[in-house]
Chain A
Amino acid sequence: MDFIAWALVALPAAAGLGGLLLRRREHAAWLGVGTPAAALVCAVVAAFGNPAAAFTLADFGSVRVSAALDLSPTAVAVAIASALVSTLVQLYSVAYLREDARYVPFAAQVNLFCAAMLLVVCADDLVFLLIGWEVMGACSYLLIAHYAKLPAAPGAAAKAFLVTRFGDVGFVLGVMVLGVSAGTFRIGEIEVSSAVAAVSMLLILFGCVGKSAQFPLQVWLPPAMAGPTPVSALIHAATMVAAGAYVLTRLLPVWPEGLLLVVAVVAAVGMVGAGVCAFAATDVKGVLAWSTISQVGFMFAAVAVSAADTALFHLLAHAAFKALLFLTAGVVIALAGTDGSLATTRLRPRSAPLAFWSVTIGLAAMSGLPPLGGFYSKEAVLGAAYEAGTPAGVVVFWAGVVASIVTAAYSARLWLLLFWRGGPRARLAAPRAEAVGLWTLAVATVGTGALYYAGPLRVPELHLDLMALMLIATAGGLYVVADSWWRDRARDPNRLLGRAKGAFALGLYGEALATGAARGAARVASGAARVLDEQLVDRAAVEGSARATVAAGRGAALGHRGGLARHLRLSAAGTLLVAAVAIGVSLWT
């Protein structure tokens, strides 16, 4: 059984590294689809045994890093979800990238990413987890920058990597503080004083905020849509952004009670703010990106009320419907033949039935319509908040209600704008490989509801009053949009936001502010450093001393010019001076 645990991570890792050396497309495709599938099989098998394995990876004397895997039931569930989404994305990509010359490294990088995500899910040692955490970030960078012809892609990739790296400054510091205080990095064995726990958890929270694109580090996710759509589906929907929430659930036992309010505030801002931005966004993938931020905020909210399993439940549900939505978005954009902006992309339900029903199911799940998984998971979050009774719970509860309204609103907007404004009449079909992915995910989205009853997660009881509140909220959001639509079909419902619409579409200028601030700071700091280093240290001190020595040499050579008389005067004066010094010192001592 231990072997299964190691194979789960090692197989995709080896395939990823080896895949970088391949040349032929077919080989890369087989490796690309087969390996996550094998990992999926391993994960399913592991569900029956829940293996845990460890050996010492690095011994630093006062602390050691273990390569420790712990496939608990929740971890297995998330692993299965990740492996499944990876397999489907790889399959989808075979068709989506059939004209791309650089498919081979793409497939290898996706495999590497899959290995990193599985490592984060299964790791039981914080530094071992950190390895997967950072490799995910690196793969995300490589994959976003995939399109060589897109000028925005490298900048977006660098921004993604740098913002998450910035968050990781806090993450690494937090992990190290925990390691120093607890003497170990094993998650299960960490016991520290509450002061240390507070500091380290806040630092780690900063890292999770960066990885999950929550406020205030959300600026990298919308531009990251410049990557290929399968990448967005895998990384920026189902796995990496959820990893931040996942790690928080793993470390929940270490959190000091009162501090969870911070998480609640972060989550609330994310849920509501990102939702409004999704409502204002002007292209398909942008709406989905902002909605991802909002939904991950839900996961953070669950963590804020100490409901770890609830957060994971929402994670699984979100993985299913968001991956479905992103993959379908890719199909929709390809079928409509546009660049993805909402102004131009439109299809008829009859022309592309698979796409239509996939989007409908996905959006319905996202809005929380029963009996789809999203309904149960949102209800569970609100239920946990209600039951918790802490200030964090209050914040989460009301933010959750408002967010439900907004979620319903932007879901409805997207649905109406995509499918109910006319479009090409011809019957359009997606390629087989892509269709398989859509079918599977649609089924999964419908099926996650069943997890509430059958799965390994401990979720709170259903509250009828909360269910009713949620349905009312959802209905309210739908009604607002429907009303605006009914009044004037030609105009985009986001005019409800009035003049703030443009600002929200740009994320309240958050991205521009961040970029400007970062560039400005970099320029100033870099300039100052260069002045310090090149002018002061190098020119003034080092070369200045060299010049002074040479000048002294010229002075000495000049001073010695002149004939014999000069020499004699020099000598006599020198000797007398020496004698005087000698006499003086010896008389004095």
Chain B
Amino acid sequence: MLVACVALPLVGAALTWWLRRGEVGVGAAALALIAAAVLPLGRGDGWWHEVDLAWAPAIRLDFALSVDGVSWPLVVLTALLGLLCCVHNARSGGSPTLTALLLAVQGASTAVFLADNLVLFFIAFEAVLLPMWAVVHRYGIDETRRHAAAKFALFTIAGSLLMATGLFVAAADAGTADLGAIIAGGGVSEGVSLLVFALLALGFAVKAPLWPLHSWLPDAHTAAPTVGSVLLAGVLLKLGTYGLIRVAGGIAPDGAADAAPVLAVLAAAGIVVASLVCLGQGELKRLIAYSSVGHMGFVVLAFATGTEAGVRAALFANLAHGLITPLLFFLAGAVKERTRTGRLAELGGLRVAAPALAGLLGFASLASLGLPGLAGFWGEAFTVYAAAERGGAWFALAAVAAVGAFLTAAYLLRMLKHVSHGAPTAAVAGIGGLSVGEAAVWAPLVAATLALGLAPGPVLDLFATGVL
């Protein structure tokens, strides 16, 4: 089943490209989602299931996959977003090659989440780069897409090679490249722990993204097609935070504790700077992109506090962001497609012209600003809790996080004021309303946001059982 989660999207990608039929991709994605959903059945303690096949022992590479309470929600999220993107692409008449590339990204990302061997983790991490680059470069919608794609590729490879160095130092120190074994053994020895964590954190900070290594994100999101932005926000960013929490935090816990203040300060700075930039932002997708930087700042801050509540809050905020921001990007894509512009100055009065669409946009915005009752609240509020729990100087960071939440509300409300309220502008007047297909694609995200907000308990308990 684990192998199926990884293989189905990749096989689907190849078949879709070869047969030139988007529906094949949709079918493969659906099967992958089912495979991911049944993973909790028959699970053991610790790792739920494991697969371990030797591949190249000389470089410590084994094809080792495993899943537990921390990675399973992300695997399901990846499969779900992949399916939604393939359906969206097929419905809107996009190219089958784009579907194939999306499935390739999905397959590689799933391999990252499931990898139990450090070298396999690195290879899967790198494998995401080329398909995503192709999505932005070839199917992007802006003149800046080439530049944005190149920036994305260069940033990513720099980060992943630094991360690889850290992984290999750890493997050399621990004598094995088995992730679970190293975590169970308490991590690498103290002398190298800080070096390993620094290298890994640098690599993951590029992906997460952590300010100031985030410059690739706004350009990439603005230039990418809707499905590209959805996968970027919902999956790729999760690779960074998952790596930070599980891999970096797991194999170098001493280094993590030492470097935590630096991470926390940068995360808090990212929250504030990103929110302030959003306050003056004039383009819809760029605004949502910067909001991702802010949200991921919450995740990293919560992780950096090092408390149990902090880690759970970080994982929960991670998951919530993976549901809410893709929904925002879908909506922004729908608006841009209908009005042919993303500039806030040219939009207005959406709730008169397309009430259902505006209503969903309002729902997604409220979720993004952390309204309780919706998924975003628990992560943000308990980041504040975790920082307060550390006490001392960390309380200042808690206050910064709370102010950041306020600033998030400010810029999202400004966005709604420009887009949704007021009189319909020329671009908005007469646009079509929500179609059934679109509603069907977005409904799972809406439902999941609501469910996670009202009943966070089961997911939090899953995180508690994770191997960390």
Question: Do A and B touch, yes or no (CB under 8 Å, in the complex)?
Answer: yes
Contact A59 to B384, CB < 8 A, known contacts A138-B371, A169-B405: no
Q: B444 at the A/B interface (Cβ < 8 Å)?
A: no
Beta-carbon nearest neighbor of B421 in chain A? A154
User: Do the beta carbons of B414 and A135 come within 8 Å of each other?
Assistant: no
User: Do the beta carbons of A62 and B421 come within 8 Å of each other?
Assistant: no
Q: B185 at the A/B interface (Cβ < 8 Å)?
A: no
> A155 is contacted by which of B277, B349, B389, B417 (Cβ under 8 Å)?
B417
User: Do the beta carbons of B359 and A20 come within 8 Å of each other?
Assistant: yes
Q: A127 at the A/B interface (Cβ < 8 Å)?
A: yes
> A60 is contacted by which of B154, B312, B366 (Cβ under 8 Å)?
B312
Please provide the 3 A-B residue pairs with the shortest distance between their CB atoms, ordered closest to farther: A61-B308, A529-B276, A154-B421
Among residues 295 to 322 in chain A, which have CB atoms less than 8 Å away from a CB atom of chain B? none
Q: Could you tell me the distance between the alpha carbons of A352 and B443 in the complex, rounded to whole angstroms?
A: 50
Beta-carbon nearest neighbor of B150 in chain A? A546
User: Do the beta carbons of B308 and A173 come within 8 Å of each other?
Assistant: no
Looking at chain B, what size class is its interface with the partner chain?
Answer: 35 or more
Please tell me which stretch of A276-284, A326-334, A483-491, A530-538 contacts chain B, meaning at least 4 of its Cβ atoms lie within 8 angstroms of it: A530-538
Contact A165 to B215, CB < 8 A, known contacts A60-B312, A62-B307, A158-B417: no
> B309 is contacted by which of A62, A134, A542 (Cβ under 8 Å)?
A62
> B414 is contacted by which of A131, A158, A173, A537 (Cβ under 8 Å)?
A158
Which residues of the partner chain A approach B64 to less than 8 Å between Cβ atoms?
none
User: Do the beta carbons of B277 and A530 come within 8 Å of each other?
Assistant: yes
Q: B303 at the A/B interface (Cβ < 8 Å)?
A: no
User: Do the beta carbons of A58 and B457 come within 8 Å of each other?
Assistant: yes
Q: A176 at the A/B interface (Cβ < 8 Å)?
A: yes
Q: A555 at the A/B interface (Cβ < 8 Å)?
A: no
Interface string of B324-344 (1 = CB under 8 A from A): 000000000000000000000
Contact A165 to B312, CB < 8 A, known contacts A151-B422, A532-B273: no
Closest CB in chain A relative to B49 CB, distance in Å: 25
Q: A56 at the A/B interface (Cβ < 8 Å)?
A: yes
Please tell me which stretch of B133-141, B175-183, B375-383 contacts chain A, meaning at least 4 of its Cβ atoms lie within 8 angstroms of it: B375-383
Please tell me which stretch of B18-26, B34-42, B396-404 contacts chain A, meaning at least 4 of its Cβ atoms lie within 8 angstroms of it: B396-404
Please tell me which stretch of A265-273, A472-480, A519-527 contacts chain B, meaning at least 4 of its Cβ atoms lie within 8 angstroms of it: A519-527
Can you name 13 A-B residue pairings with CB atoms under 8 Å? A56-B457, A59-B457, A60-B385, A133-B372, A158-B414, A162-B413, A168-B406, A173-B402, A176-B385, A177-B388, A180-B388, A529-B277, A537-B212
Which residues of the partner chain B approach A7 to less than 8 Å between Cβ atoms?
none
User: Do the beta carbons of B313 and A60 come within 8 Å of each other?
Assistant: yes
Interface string of A134-169 (1 = CB under 8 A from B): 110010011001001001011100100110011011
Which residues of the partner chain A approach B373 to less than 8 Å between Cβ atoms?
131, 134-135
Which residues of the partner chain B approach A141 to less than 8 Å between Cβ atoms?
413
Q: A528 at the A/B interface (Cβ < 8 Å)?
A: yes
Interface string of A159-198 (1 = CB under 8 A from B): 0011001101100110011011000000000000000000
User: Do the beta carbons of B372 and A533 come within 8 Å of each other?
Assistant: no
> A61 is contacted by which of B309, B402, B403, B417 (Cβ under 8 Å)?
B309
Which residues of the partner chain B approach A541 to less than 8 Å between Cβ atoms?
212
Which residues of the partner chain B approach A145 to less than 8 Å between Cβ atoms?
421
Q: B111 at the A/B interface (Cβ < 8 Å)?
A: no
User: Do the beta carbons of A158 and B280 come within 8 Å of each other?
Assistant: no
Q: A517 at the A/B interface (Cβ < 8 Å)?
A: no
The CB with the most chain A CB atoms within 10 A, among B351, B362, B388, B457, is that of B388
The CB with the most chain B CB atoms within 10 A, among A63, A133, A153, A176, is that of A176
Closest CB in chain A relative to B408 CB, distance in Å: 9
Closest CB in chain B relative to A427 CB, distance in Å: 38
> Per DSSP, are chain B's interface residues mostly helix, strand or loop, or mixed?
helix
Contact A130 to B372, CB < 8 A, known contacts A62-B307, A105-B359, A526-B279: yes
User: Do the beta carbons of A63 and B309 come within 8 Å of each other?
Assistant: yes
> Per DSSP, are chain A's interface residues mostly helix, strand or loop, or mixed?
helix
Closest CB in chain A relative to B366 CB, distance in Å: 6
Q: B85 at the A/B interface (Cβ < 8 Å)?
A: no
Q: A57 at the A/B interface (Cβ < 8 Å)?
A: yes
Among residues 3 to 56 in chain A, which have CB atoms less than 8 Å away from a CB atom of chain B? 17, 20, 56
Closest CB in chain A relative to B220 CB, distance in Å: 13
Contact A179 to B385, CB < 8 A, known contacts A60-B308, A60-B313, A172-B402: yes
Interface string of B418-459 (1 = CB under 8 A from A): 000110000000000000000000000000001000011100
User: Do the beta carbons of A542 and B308 come within 8 Å of each other?
Assistant: no
Q: Could you tell me the distance between the alpha carbons of A527 and B366 in the complex, rounded to whole angstroms?
A: 25
Which residues of the partner chain B approach A151 to less than 8 Å between Cβ atoms?
422
Among residues 251 to 288 in chain B, which have CB atoms less than 8 Å away from a CB atom of chain A? 272-274, 276-277, 279-280
Which residues of the partner chain A approach B52 to less than 8 Å between Cβ atoms?
none
Which residues of the partner chain A approach B14 to less than 8 Å between Cβ atoms?
none
Q: Could you tell me the distance between the alpha carbons of A529 and B272 in the complex, rounded to whole angstroms?
A: 9
Q: Could you tell me the distance between the alpha carbons of A530 and B416 in the complex, rounded to whole angstroms?
A: 21
Q: B460 at the A/B interface (Cβ < 8 Å)?
A: yes
Which residues of the partner chain A approach B307 to less than 8 Å between Cβ atoms?
61-62
Q: A566 at the A/B interface (Cβ < 8 Å)?
A: no
In the complex, besides A62-B308, A102-B355, 17 extra interface pairs with C-beta distance below 8 angstroms are A58-B460, A60-B312, A60-B313, A60-B385, A61-B464, A131-B373, A135-B372, A148-B352, A155-B417, A161-B409, A165-B405, A180-B391, A522-B410, A525-B276, A526-B277, A526-B279, A541-B212
Contact A172 to B384, CB < 8 A, known contacts A58-B378, A522-B410, A537-B215: yes
> B409 is contacted by which of A153, A162, A527 (Cβ under 8 Å)?
A162
Q: B461 at the A/B interface (Cβ < 8 Å)?
A: yes
> A523 is contacted by which of B280, B362, B381, B416 (Cβ under 8 Å)?
B280
Q: Could you tell me the distance between the alpha carbons of A542 and B220 in the complex, rounded to whole angstroms?
A: 15
User: Do the beta carbons of A176 and B351 come within 8 Å of each other?
Assistant: no
Closest CB in chain A relative to B438 CB, distance in Å: 16
User: Do the beta carbons of A131 and B372 come within 8 Å of each other?
Assistant: yes
Q: Could you tell me the distance between the alpha carbons of A176 and B305 in the complex, rounded to whole angstroms?
A: 15
User: Do the beta carbons of B384 and A530 come within 8 Å of each other?
Assistant: no
Q: Could you tell me the distance between the alpha carbons of A322 and B403 in the complex, rounded to whole angstroms?
A: 34
User: Do the beta carbons of A529 and B273 come within 8 Å of each other?
Assistant: yes
User: Do the beta carbons of B372 and A173 come within 8 Å of each other?
Assistant: no
User: Do the beta carbons of B273 and A173 come within 8 Å of each other?
Assistant: no
Beta-carbon nearest neighbor of B380 in chain A? A172
